[in-house]
Structure 1
Amino acid sequence: MIELRTPEEIEQMRPAGRFVAEVLTALEEKAAVGVNLLELDELAHKMIRDRGAESCYIDYHPSFGASPFGKVLCTSVNDAVLHGLPHDYVLQDGDLLSVDFAASVNGWVSDSALSLIVGTERPEDRHLIEITQNALEAGIAQAVVGNKMGDISNAIGAVATVAGLKINTDFGGHGVGRTMHGEPHVPNKGRPNRGFPLREGLVIAIEPWFLHTTDKLITDADGWTLRSADGSRGAHQEHTVAITADGPIILTARD
């Protein structure tokens, strides 16, 4: 069921958005050559405890997951792009790291992700991150009352298509509210003026993710981490966005 939020409820969602943004900012600052992925998860877990928030991931067990996730954030490195299960891995110079984090504050959820390069960057990785960020911004720009879901999806897909990237539609954005994943689904490819009408009070996570040279995924042995089928690297960006009469509000905006 698709739920619409009142202006008062959207205001109540702001603390969760700010907290998720603060955690991602702290993780971005912490990520460096020599840092273990488990250290990043530990930092996020500490911030959750200190804030009195709740993790959306640690007990998460959807049908596609091998078991309850068990960690509080996703850390996807290089050819991994989604659902990366934090494990005993020390970040290396040149790694492309995507971090996805969702938490609940006062019963309201926000969800956001970013990609970054650890140490020395490869120009092609920087370009991929920029394309993904541009796609996110294009999608958010279409998140206005009177448009349809296809307008968001088409804007995201157009950025990737111009860049020569293939687009996987198995995973995309989603509704956000009292739970992390709700209706509607927000694909990263679509046709303009098609799909669910965008209405005031709709809150969604918009999350483009792309791989360098493929749209095919394989599941890692941990039962969670999704990697490119050809070993190419991936990037992921995400914000929780409220659609209002005055335009989109990015609840997870980072300073």
Structure 2
Amino acid sequence: MFNTNLEIKTPEQILLMREAGLVVADALAAVRDAVRPGVSTAELDRVAEDLIRSRGATPSFLGYGEPPFPATICASVNDAVVHGIPGAQVLAEGDVVSIDCGAIVADGSGQGWHGDAAITVAVGAVPPRVTELMRVTEEALWQGLAAARVGGRVGDISHAVEHHVDTQGDYGIVEGYTGHGIGTEMHLPPDVPNYGRAGRGPRLKKGLALAVEPMVTIGSADTRVAEDEWTVLTTDGSVAAHFEHTFALTDTGVWVLTAHDGGRAALERLGAPYGGPA
């Protein structure tokens, strides 16, 4: 299973991760549908937890880390980049909220397999520059996914993300938080930064699963951690966006495990090989 510290999955294990990925995709879709002015982030958290548990899966985030994360989703509003704790905060017209969600599906032996993805959602009408920030960040995610190839390097993904953001305008790319390997644990080697040089880093192998997650700001990329010891905020108060998908490398290309269509439409649009079922 392990090769140079990277967890390499069998096709059967990737199928289990696909199950987890589809649970995450459905949970994020349900949360997206629930976002509106007047809803609290705690209510969004309940939507996600109810869906995950109804599928026989387990929330990845609940109880994770130190101090233990107290919720099923991360709900990061406006200048919160990632790791926002759901609670009494009520969404208002013009806000944006980034929702990060993970789920675990167990195999017959009880071993858990993870899926992890994130979206940023506008609450009603938002300023055009915020809409553009969301577009740039989501497109950067897909550029990174499309750059992955068996035999390539992690840096190919990182460079593709950075290059896309840099060509779209004056944005900040958060450097202190990265994508990651994923599988039997939510966070595994290698780190997948959102900046870097192509051709550098660990080699990409068939059976490797990674989570790619650009975090981009309208202003400075500098961040600080709030007193709750989890929420990451921009230091200048600028709005941030965050998008993420989990993918696996197969014989034929990239299979985006947390996208309902496996990423096929977006990958084909970018001229990248799709690695999922026909």
Q: Same fold (TM over 0.5)?
A: yes
Following superposition, the deviation at residue 221 of structure 1 comes to 2.1
Give SS of 2:172's match.
coil
Report the counterpart of residue 15 of structure 2 in structure 1: 11
Q: 1: distance between equivalents of 2:115 and 2:209?
A: 10
Report the counterpart of residue 78 of structure 2 in structure 1: 78
Q: How does 1:1-255 map to 2 (within 5 A)?
A: 1-62=5-66, 67-106=67-106, 107-162=112-167, 163-254=169-260
Deviation per CA, 1:98-118, whole angstroms, max 9, x where unpaired?
000001012210000000100
Q: How many residues align?
A: 251
RMSD between superposed Cα atoms in Å: 1.1
CA contact under 8 A between 1:72 and 1:101: conserved in structure 2? yes
Determine what percentage of the aligned residue pairs are the same residue: 42
Deviation per CA, 1:144-195, whole angstroms, max 9, x where unpaired?
1121111100000111212222322211100110111111100000101111
CA contact under 8 A between 2:170 and 2:218: conserved in structure 1? no
Give SS of 1:192's match.
coil
Following superposition, the deviation at residue 47 of structure 1 comes to 1.5
Q: 2: distance between equivalents of 1:60 and 1:195?
A: 27
CA contact under 8 A between 1:144 and 1:244: conserved in structure 2? no
Report the counterpart of residue 267 of structure 2 in structure 1: none
Q: What TM-score do the two structures reach when normalised by structure 1?
A: 0.96
Give SS of 1:59's match.
coil
CA contact under 8 A between 2:41 and 2:86: conserved in structure 1? yes
1:152 maps to a residue whose letter is I
Q: Which runs of 5+ in 1 are unaligned?
A: none
Q: What TM-score do the two structures reach when normalised by structure 2?
A: 0.88
Deviation per CA, 1:194-232, whole angstroms, max 9, x where unpaired?
111111010000000111111100111222111100000
1:56 maps to a residue whose letter is S
Following superposition, the deviation at residue 254 of structure 1 comes to 3.6
Give SS of 1:112's match.
strand
Q: 2: distance between equivalents of 1:127 and 1:217?
A: 21
CA contact under 8 A between 1:17 and 1:111: conserved in structure 2? yes
Q: 2: distance between equivalents of 1:208 and 1:232?
A: 16
CA contact under 8 A between 2:134 and 2:241: conserved in structure 1? yes
2:69 maps to a residue whose letter is F
Following superposition, the deviation at residue 58 of structure 1 comes to 1.2
Q: Which runs of 5+ in 2 are unaligned?
A: 107-111, 262-278
Following superposition, the deviation at residue 51 of structure 1 comes to 1.7
2:202 maps to a residue whose letter is F
